[in-house]
Amino acid sequence: MARFAPDVINSDANFSAEDPDGLLLGLISSSMFIAWQRAVGGRLKSDLRFASTITWNNFPLPHLSDNHRAAIIDAGRAVEAARAVHPGQSLADLYDPLAMPRNLRDAHGALDKVVDAAFGFRKKPADELRLARLFELYAQMTGEAA
């Protein structure tokens, strides 16, 4: 996920969404969203393949309080700021698991903390717990909850 100026033209291999305040960047950059993507999204070879109709449009986002919303936006901006400290590096370079810059790793940790809190977690959950919560919310949103 990255933010681009309005004059950037997308190809059919990516997606765009208006994100004036940065909320989407924060959400999509979180481990919560990546857990959802891994579970319900597609793959191209072994790479994750985002699909707006089955990944984003179905992401079970709970109602966000003003405080949670602001915290996610601020944490997303901190991720952008951490990336900006490393000009000239591609997202692939920045997110190499063996060489990810410490400041970027820390910014993502802070982002995950606020997103996890918005989903009701007090401590860092394992991805299995994140998915259980996501599917619980999805069932509620689709009327499938018992």
Count CB neighbours of 52 within 10 A.
Answer: 11
Q: What is the pLDDT of residue 145?
A: 61
What pLDDT is stored for residue 146 in this prediction?
Answer: 56
Mean pLDDT, each 10-residue run in order, the chain (146 residues): 72 73 93 92 74 80 96 97 94 92 97 98 96 95 76
* pLDDT at residue number 54: 77
* pLDDT for residue 1: 66
| pTM check: above 0.85 | yes
Q: Cα separation of 32 and 16, whole Å?
A: 20
